[in-house]
Amino acid sequence: MIEVEKLSKRYGEVSAIRDVSFAARPGEVTGFLGPNGAGKTTTMRILTGFMPPGSGRAIVAGHDVFTDSMEVRRRVGYLPENVPLYRDMTAIGYLKFIADIRGLRDGKRRAQEVLERVDLLQRANSRIRTLSKGMRQRVGVAQALIHDPEVLILDEPTIGLDPFQVLELRDLVRVLGRDHTVLFSTHILSEAEQICDQVVIIDRGQIMAQGSPQALRNELESGRPVVLRVEAPLDEALALVSALPEVEQAGISADGITATPASPEQDPRPAIARAVLERGWALKELRSVAVTLEDIFLEVAGSRATAGEAPGEAEAPADLLEEDEVSHA
Amino acid sequence: MHSILAVFRRELALYFRSPVAYAIAFALLLFLGVLFNGFIAQANAALSFGSGIPADAGFAPNLLTFLMFLIAPLLTMRLLAEESREGTLEVLMTLPLHESSFIIGKFLAAWAYYTVLLLLSLVFYVLQGFIGVPDAGVALGAYGGAWLYGGAVLAITMIWSAVTEDQIVAAFLGSATILVLYLAEIAAIWIAGQGSSSLVADFVRELGLQAHFSVTLAQGIVRAEDVVYFICVIIGALFITTRLVETRRWRA
Amino acid sequence: MQDKLSDDQPFLPPRSLLLLALAAGLAALLAFAINADAVVAWGALGIAVLALLGWAFTAPQQVRAVLTGRTLRFGGTSLLVTLVVLAALVAIYTFVRQANLSVTLSESNEYALSSEGRAAIAAIGADPSLPQVHVTTFISATAAGIRDQLELLMAEYVSTSQGKVISEFVDLDRNPLRAEQMGAGNPNQQFVTRLNAEGQPDLEEGELLRFFSQDGLTNAILRNAVAGDFRTWFIEVEDGPGMNASGPEGLSTLSLGLEQQLDWTNREVPLLDFTRPASALRLNDPAIDGEIMIVAGGSRPLSEPELAVLTDYLAAGGKLILLAAPGLETGSAPLAADAALGDWLYQHFGLRFRNDMVLDRSQAFQNPLYPVSTELDASHRITQPYSRGFALVFEAPHSIEIADEPPTSVTVTTLASSSADSYNMTDFSAVLEGNIEPEETSLTGPLVLAAAAENSETGARLVLFGSTSMLANGFTGINGVANFDVAVDSIFWATDFEDWFSQVNIQSAARPQDAPLFADAQSIALINVITTLLLPFGILAIGALVWFNNRESAPQGGQ
């Protein structure tokens, strides 16, 4: 259980996070979504007791991270970003070391158990420096799991992994989410959607939105343009779509025909499909324009800006453009 | 306690797995060995001229304390600089242990390795026992003193490892600090020679390491103030190191 | 927290109290370091504590925050706490330093009292009749290391002597006047003296030790505590060489040596002064540690009262060195060979001078008038150290006649005799004219030229030397000639000075640890192999093995 209330943290003059409030429930995987520099790592570091909050309150596993740091640390498993490990130790040796520090009885057995859980038992005696990136990531997860914590906090666990390893890790997180409170940060929306029961979106230190991934997606996708490809003359199809009352306007794009809905509440796709089929054309594709992270952030940030609530430093686009290559990776 | 022990065990194992530790022991023992043979030859020659040289129980500890400005930084530069560069410090600092625990654990490991070095150098005392009569009291004082001295020096150099993430910089600064503290006695003589107040000279002298070792412990005189000096330096340096590591929480 | 404070600000901001505590603490530290004024130091420490308490009272929430909260670890508080901890450590160190506790594990004489020194100093401490001895050790910051050692050693002297030895350290730079008074110019010199009536170090009596050695210091302390009263009576005689005369005939070397190096009291007096009622001079004074009467030369026989003084003195156990004047100068009436004195000596001690002159044409120094004796008695205390390789040179000496049967309880020892080629002459005028052919009545060598007699009953001791050349300045410092040394040793023997001196002159035994190192070729080879090959390369090999094993165990996987 994680409860965060109005958490703020400043580094000198720069505000890292501001009035962050959210909750993560046991038995759920909570995705912490945001671009680099949004405040994900800062928040997680506060939650794990690595650094104290500037103000606000955070209760993790029933203890205040500020006044009761040790108790929190005992109950939290943490995988920092970039998975720092002692490269010169063996996997089992490292886990045994962590178990000893945590004062677990029977550390060796615990270490073997978690290695088995992350499916690395066969490499238990290999030095960590010889392990692949994915294996190291799993050693990191094993480290976070070794004391069977109530709360598991994973900072960008899938970054830098190949697609297969990413799938493996996502499965692992999903499984862990069944009996732990898992807080899991990522900047990839689809990842959050796949494995999270709840998503918290953060940007420039502030919570933008939170809710189940499906709800978020629906909310964000509504009112978005749709793309249509049909087996028919382009101008006829364009005319047909433009004439529909659900469509405000339509144009030709590289993908096909792009139509903007007349109102955000109403999805124009059923109407378009009906119209196409009535003409007897073959419908090749009809989809909403893909919602990318950038879109969401630009949208949320834009709406905030118009509402006059955005933080003073509003040079956001530059930040977000940097995000491109990462999100495509 | 268990966490100190866990850190201690890990670091100590690391020392005995690292080639650097063996290289240091090799270089040190070879150096001492060559000097020792020179010393024996000199003693033999002196005897043939009539006035012999008595056994020097403090042979190895005296040299070892001098060489600490080279050895200690090599032993400690890694301890914290590497952790913070590799990011493993973040893991340690979110585990349920106080900073002081792993700093003490790491320090004790370095000290234990140094103790092994010191014990190896006992061979020079034992060998002198076969060809002369080394003073057991002096040996006890000098080896015990060198042990405390080493602890203090290791604790001081460890501060630099906490200050910077760059091991080379840490080693360099550590070496310079120890050299300065080693030479404080000579500086004190120089200050006294300048005709200024002997108070300043005495202060500088007592701040340094040698004033608490070479004239007392190394000669088999155990002065409470010297023992307390080394212990205080160890505690003080470890405390500062702990503080420095802790500041990472709010600086980082 | 800042906000809370501003609500009800005390008249003194709590933070300023903290600063005050810090400042006072530093001041106390400095004062302790200077060690100049303990009152100031304790006062400052008191202020620091009060300021801390004041802070605790005026701002309890700050105290609680510092002690329990995380503010302890963050921000400026961290620095402050660090400073407080460091100050506490320095305070502990300073406190321990004041306590001056130490244990000396080494047995080395440099740093700890040797067992001999300890016994001697403890004996001084246990004797209430002895005065206190003040030791001033001159120090300098330029030689601080040795100073530390001397401080420990002096503390041991003070405690072993139960306070009879008073130790004081004087910084040469800070108290140059004192150094000048005591003649010290370098650090680690020591001035040892007894306390005078005013309880001050007696600057006139003491001695400066120019180089530090433990035995030297111990002996200086002993000498100053147990200053012996030894007297030499140089008897004024006609044509005698004179106590202070510095010419080749004079005795100044002896008298100055006794006075300056051994602290004896020398007086040159006529024999009759001892009997004159107005005179304060007394012989055979039991209160003094020793006295010796020296009668050197003399061209006139002793008068009857003079002889009475001498014989009374000897009969009461007196010690006498009697040296005959060279025969050529005194002619036929020398003091030593006078019949009245000679008969008395022969009767009571079994020896006397003949009124003659011994000549030696084969074993002589430059000419036959200076016979040389190489036959020195090897068993007697006086000549024993010189019995090999040393010679005595006499100047026209009188020979000594020794009774076949010495009087009861008297032992007579021949110390030195002339060579077999020597002979004596009684016709002084013939010799003066250059005729040194033996006479018909001449005795031939070896003739006794020096002898000692001792009456074990009265304790009287008597040494006879054939000529005053034994004591004269002119015969000192000649290579291989032991005249002066034998004469001084005869004084020491007669007065038992060495017995006394050995009490105040300890010699620490060499410790086994001082034995020099010696390694034979085989040991050297072994040591060489162990220390430069076996040990270092063994470790290198282990290191290589460990490294290799680590390599091996690392699987080939990974990237």
**Which residue is closest to B10 within chain A, CA to CA?**
A97
**Nearest CB to C557: which of A66, A69, A130?**
A130
CA angle centred on A256, ends A250 and A261, rounded to 5°:
30
C289/C109: higher pLDDT: C289
Q: Is C233 helix (H, G, I), strand (E, B) or coil?
A: strand
pLDDT of residue B157: 95
Q: Give the closest residue to B4 by CA, choosing from B99, B112, B111.
A: B99
CB-based burial label for C85 (10 Å; 0-12, 13-18, 19+): middle
pLDDT of residue B154: 96
Euclidean distance between CA atoms C302 and A206, whole angstroms: 129
Euclidean distance between CA atoms B206 and B203, whole angstroms: 5
CB-based burial label for B153 (10 Å; 0-12, 13-18, 19+): buried
Query: Three-state secondary structure along C12-25?
Result: CCHHHHHHHHHHHH
Q: Is C408 helix (H, G, I), strand (E, B) or coil?
A: coil
Of the pLDDT bands very low, low, confident and very high (cuts 50, 70, 90), residue C46 is confident
Tokens describing residue C371: 């016979």
C171 interface with B at CB cutoff 8 Å: yes
Mutate which of C72, C85, C106 to test chain B, going by most B C-beta atoms within 10 A? C106
Mutate which of A78, A83, A101 to test chain B, going by most B C-beta atoms within 10 A? A101
Of the pLDDT bands very low, low, confident and very high (cuts 50, 70, 90), residue C253 is confident
**pLDDT of C4 above 50:** no
**Nearest CB to B203: which of C33, C513, C535?**
C33
| Touching chains, B (3+ CB pairs < 8 A) | A, C
Q: Which residues pair with C320 in a beta bridge?
A: C293, C462
Q: Which residue blocks in C8-114 are alpha helix, DSSP H?
A: 14-34, 38-58, 60-68, 76-99
Cβ neighbours of C553 in A, within 8 Å: 125, 127
Euclidean distance between CA atoms B78 and B89, whole angstroms: 12
pLDDT of residue A292: 59
Unique residue bearing structure tokens 């290289």: B23
pLDDT digits (tens, 9 = 90+) for A62-73: 898 888 888 899
Supply the mean pLDDT for chain A.
80
pLDDT of residue A153: 92
Dihedral (CA of B196, B198, B200, B201) sign: positive
Count of other CB atoms within 10 angstroms of residue C385: 14
Euclidean distance between CA atoms B138 and B213, whole angstroms: 12
Euclidean distance between CA atoms A206 and A253, whole angstroms: 35
Euclidean distance between CA atoms C507 and C116, whole angstroms: 7
C67/C226: higher pLDDT: C226
B243 interface with C at CB cutoff 8 Å: yes
- Is residue A111 within 8 Å of residue A95, measured between CB atoms? yes
Q: What are phi and psi of C511, to 5 degrees?
A: -90, 155
Euclidean distance between CA atoms B241 and A256, whole angstroms: 65
**pLDDT of A322 above 50:** no
Cβ neighbours of B93 in A, within 8 Å: 49-50
Euclidean distance between CA atoms C124 and C103, whole angstroms: 24
pLDDT of residue A319: 37
E strands, C275-409, are 290-296, 319-323, 351-353, 357-359, 372-373, 375-376, 392-393, 400-402
Supply the mean pLDDT for chain C.
82
C115/A304: higher pLDDT: C115
Cβ neighbours of A123 in C, within 8 Å: 555, 557
Give A195's contacts (C-beta < 8 A, 6+ positions apart). A29, A31, A170, A173, A174, A177, A184
**C555–A132 C-beta distance less than 8 A:** no
**C558–A130 C-beta distance less than 8 A:** yes
Interface of A with C (CB under 8 A): 52, 66-67, 69, 123, 125-127, 129-133, 135
- Is residue B187 within 8 Å of residue B204, measured between CB atoms? yes
Euclidean distance between CA atoms A61 and A1, whole angstroms: 5
pLDDT of residue A34: 81
Give B43's contacts (C-beta < 8 A, 6+ positions apart). B52, B53, B132, C516, C517, C518, C519
Can you state the percent helix, strand and coil of chain C, rounding each to 5?
45, 15, 40
The string of DSSP letters for B41-58 reads HHHHHHHHTT---B--TT
Q: Give the closest residue to B182 by CA, choosing from B155, B213, B217, B144.
A: B213
Unique residue bearing structure tokens 């006394």: C500
Mutate which of A50, A88, A130 to test chain C, going by most C C-beta atoms within 10 A? A130
Q: Going by DSSP bridges, is the β-strand pair C265-269/C230-235 parallel, antiparallel, or unpaired?
A: parallel
- Is residue C389 within 8 Å of residue C480, measured between CB atoms? yes
C35 interface with B at CB cutoff 8 Å: no
Cβ neighbours of A50 in B, within 8 Å: 90, 93-94, 249, 252
Mutate which of B135, B246, B248 to test chain C, going by most C C-beta atoms within 10 A? B135
**Nearest CB to A84: which of B2, B86, B97?**
B86
**C97–B54 C-beta distance less than 8 A:** no
**pLDDT of A329 above 70:** no
Euclidean distance between CA atoms C232 and C258, whole angstroms: 9
**Which residue is closest to A101 within chain B, CA to CA?**
B3
Mutate which of A51, A127, A136 to test chain C, going by most C C-beta atoms within 10 A? A127
Dihedral (CA of A110, A116, A121, A127) sign: negative
Query: Three-state secondary structure along chain A?
Result: CEEEEEEEEEECCEEEEEEEEEEECCCCEEEEECCCCCCHHHHHHHHCCCCCCCEEEEEECCEECCCCHHHHHHHEEEECCCCCCCCCCEHHHHHHHHHHHCCCCCHHHHHHHHHHHCCCHHHCCCEHHHCCHHHHHHHHHHHHHCCCCCEEEEECCCCCCCHHHHHHHHHHHHHHHCCCEEEEEECCHHHHHHHCCEEEEEECCEEEEEECHHHHHHHHHCCCCEEEEEECCHHHHHHHHHHCCCEEEEEECCCCEEEEECCCCCCCHHHHHHHHHHHCCEEEEEEECCCCHHHHHHHHHHHHHHHCCCCCCCCHHHHHHHHHHHHHC
**Nearest CB to A73: which of B6, B10, B95?**
B95
Q: Give the closest residue to C94 by CA, choosing from B136, B228, A318, A253.
A: B228
Cβ neighbours of B88 in A, within 8 Å: 84-86
What is the average pLDDT across C279-284? Answer: 80
pLDDT digits (tens, 9 = 90+) for A215-269: 776 776 667 778 888 888 888 888 888 888 888 888 887 778 888 887 777 778 8
Euclidean distance between CA atoms C463 and C98, whole angstroms: 60
- Is residue C51 within 8 Å of residue C21, measured between CB atoms? yes
Reading chain B (252 residues) residue by residue, the pLDDT tens digits are: 788 999 999 999 989 988 888 999 999 999 999 999 999 988 888 888 877 888 888 899 999 999 999 999 999 998 999 888 888 888 888 898 888 899 999 999 999 999 999 999 999 999 998 888 888 888 999 999 999 999 999 999 999 999 888 888 899 999 999 999 998 888 888 877 776 666 778 888 888 998 899 888 888 888 899 999 999 999 999 999 998 888 877 665
The letter for the amino acid at A156 is E
CA dihedral C247, C253, C259, C260 (to 10 degrees): 110
pLDDT digits (tens, 9 = 90+) for C203-234: 877 788 888 888 888 888 888 887 778 888 88
**Nearest CB to C558: which of A67, A69, A131?**
A131
**Nearest CB to A126: which of C70, C74, C555?**
C555
A189/A62: higher pLDDT: A62
Q: Could you give the ipTM of this predicted complex?
A: 0.89
Q: Which residue blocks in C127-184 are alpha helix, DSSP H?
A: 144-160, 176-182
**Percent of chain C whose pLDDT exceeds 90:** 7
**pLDDT of A100 above 70:** yes
Whole-model pTM over 0.90: no
> If residue C133 lies in a helix (H) or strand (E), which one and from where to where?
strand C133-139
**Which residue is closest to B138 within chain C, CA to CA?**
C106
**A132–C559 C-beta distance less than 8 A:** yes
Cβ neighbours of A87 in B, within 8 Å: 86
Cβ neighbours of C556 in A, within 8 Å: 130
**Which residue is closest to B93 within chain A, CA to CA?**
A50
**A88–B90 C-beta distance less than 8 A:** no
**B250–A100 C-beta distance less than 8 A:** no
Tokens describing residue A280: 């007897």
What is the average pLDDT across A303-315? Answer: 44
pLDDT of residue B250: 67
pLDDT of residue C76: 64
Tokens describing residue C470: 């034994």
- Is residue A30 within 8 Å of residue A197, measured between CB atoms? yes
> If residue C137 lies in a helix (H) or strand (E), which one and from where to where?
strand C133-139
Interface of C with A (CB under 8 A): 70, 74, 550, 553-559
**C557–A123 C-beta distance less than 8 A:** yes
C511/B195: higher pLDDT: C511
- For residue C430, the distance in angstroms to the closest alpha carbon of chain B comes to 56
Q: How far is CA B22 from CA B78, B114, B154, in A?
A: 15, 12, 18
**Which residue is closest to A140 within chain B, CA to CA?**
B91
pLDDT digits (tens, 9 = 90+) for A137-148: 889 989 998 988
- For residue C177, the distance in angstroms to the closest alpha carbon of chain B comes to 16
**Nearest CB to A52: which of C70, C553, C558?**
C70
Tokens describing residue C559: 């990237």
Q: Which residues pair with C195 in a beta bridge?
A: C201
> If residue C230 lies in a helix (H) or strand (E), which one and from where to where?
strand C230-235
DSSP C410: E
